[in-house]
Structure 1
Amino acid sequence: MENGGSLEERLERLESIEEIRGLAARYCLALDMRATDAWVSLFPADVRVGKGRSGRDALAEWFRETMGAQFTGTAHVTGNHIIEFDGPDRARGVVYSRNEHETGDEWVIMTMMYWDDYERIDGRWYFRRRLPLYWYATDLNSPPIGENKMRWPDEEPYEGAWHEFWPTYQEFWETRLDESADVAEPAPVGEFLTWLRDGAEELPSVRVR
């Protein structure tokens, strides 16, 4: 959706961008402080949780089980937040996240990003969906060189869809020596993310941690 419209519409768009960015920050704080009610309130009442379950009660149950079983403490720091709109009440975005986890006797560091869908309901923005894309997770003292960079204690290493999600990464390695390739035109305004995705609609299967 291109920028434009009346002054009032443009101001409303700026307010929405600020609220969505605040949504990501509140997500991190509520997650790290184990504020279950605050965390689930960032999602709509009919949020899909998976395995046929939906709703904030089911999401809260998942949160308590996951956070209680895996981590003593965590810290999430986000940045590089890109937000684009599909209408006045729908948006999508990407936000990087650098995370630290105390798990057992190991300190696991992680770099990832979220592919987000946002929805405004009754004047308030929510996460409609968050798809995590992981680059690596590893003990602080073990650089994740090589393949299968998701390296959690007592688990087999695996890939986290960090590059799989973006066709440009594979294309670069396949065509980087092709000097005849034309440089593409800039992305349409407000469509940078879908442009990078090259119109792909299918989402990879990601093992959520």
Structure 2
Amino acid sequence: MEQNALLARLDRLESIDEIRQLAGKYSLSLDMRDLDAHVNLFAEDIRVGREKTGRAHLKAWVDDTLRDQFHGTSHHLGQHLIEFTDPDHAVGVVYSKNEHETGPEWVTMQMLYWDDYERMQGRWYFRRRLPCYWYASDLNKPPIGTQKMRWPGRAPYAGTFHDLFPSWTEFWANRPDKDQLPQVASAAPVEQFLATLRRGAGAPKIRVR
């Protein structure tokens, strides 16, 4: 019994490291335009849009996006939280600060990814990456105010950085009484920190522009 528990813990540590490597490989392969290496980080039957599946469709979509919008990019990863739903499935949140050479502007972006990971035939893959943007704006134009997504040639629009987590809206809607100590909720259970922040909502769905 102890040996099985030890093996399970070792498997968990190795899985965490492989998933974090997966996120790093995503950024490097994207920035260096190795699209074969990039799409092979995803499940073979990855969904692309509403009607298409497979790495070939993903490669075509990424190719078009990069050629049409960006000359150069650099993705800088921040904190990476990973929680397992079972030994072969996990979810994660990855912060990313990105730079883009796009037309006449140098656009910086702050975002996070909500990820779903799946282990198949002994290897971890992205099952889905959901990008949630806070801002994108020219280096010399701080994104103060609303409508923080500001790409050259496009009308500004709001990002979805805070949309996954009800705490953002709750914080601004409920100002505590300064004369009373606030109540503190119980700590999130192990492997349930992200689910607790999501308030138990199901798989997130956000329209990506």
**Distance of 2:18 and 2:152 partners within structure 1:** 36
Give the SS at the match of 1:145.
Answer: coil
Unaligned runs of 5+ in 1: none
Residue aligning to 1:200: 201
3-state DSSP of counterpart to 2:184: coil
Counterparts of 1:14 and 1:205, CA distance in 2: 30
The answer to whether the 8 Å contact 2:176/2:182 transfers is no
C-alpha separation between the residues in 1 aligned to 2:205 and 2:152?
A: 24
Equivalent position of 1:109 in the other structure: 108
Q: Secondary structure at the match of 2:76?
A: strand
Q: Deviations over 1:158-193 (max 9, x none)?
A: 111111211001101112324465210000011100
Q: Deviations over 1:76-118 (max 9, x none)?
A: 0111100000001000000000000000110000000000000
What are the superposed Cα offsets for residues 113-165 of structure 1, whole Å, 9 maximum, x if unpaired?
00000000000000000000000000000000000100001111111111121
Q: In 2, Cα distance between the equivalents of 1:17 and 1:176?
A: 38
When structure 1 is superposed on structure 2, of 175-184 and 35-44 the one drifting more is 175-184
In structure 2, relative to structure 1, the CA distance for the partners of 1:35 and 1:157 (3 Å cut) is same
CA distance in 2, matches of 1:102, 1:194: 36
Q: How many residues align?
A: 204
| RMSD of Structure 2 on Structure 1 (CA) | 1.2
Q: Which residue of structure 2 lines up, in the alignment, with residue 151 of structure 1?
A: 150
- Aligned counterparts, 1:83-102, within 5 A: 83-102=82-101
Contact 2:130–2:206 (Cα < 8 Å) also in 1: no
SS at match of 1:6: helix
Match in the other structure for 1:48: 47
Matched AA of 2:75: H
Aligned mates of 1:13, 1:204 — CA distance in 2: 27
- Secondary structure at the aligned position of 2:126 is classed as strand
Tell me which amino acid in the other structure corresponds to 2:39: V
Q: Which residue does 1:134 correspond to in 2? A: 133
166-175 or 178-187, which deviates more: 178-187
Q: Distance in 2 between matches of 1:189 and 1:60?
A: 37
What residue is the counterpart of 1:172 in the other structure? 171
Match of 1:191 in 2: 192
Q: Secondary structure at the match of 1:183?
A: coil
Rounded Cα–Cα distance in structure 1 between residues aligned with 2:193 and 2:206: 23
Partner of 1:78: 77
- Counterpart Cα distance in 2 of 1:163 and 1:157: 17
2:33 is matched by which residue type in structure 1?
Answer: R
Larger RCO (CA under 8 A, 6+ residues apart): 1
Q: What TM-score, normalized to structure 1? A: 0.94
AA at the equivalent of 1:78: L
Structure 2 distance, partners of 1:31, 1:39, is 6
Name stretches of at least 5 consecutive residues in structure 2 with no aligned partner.
none
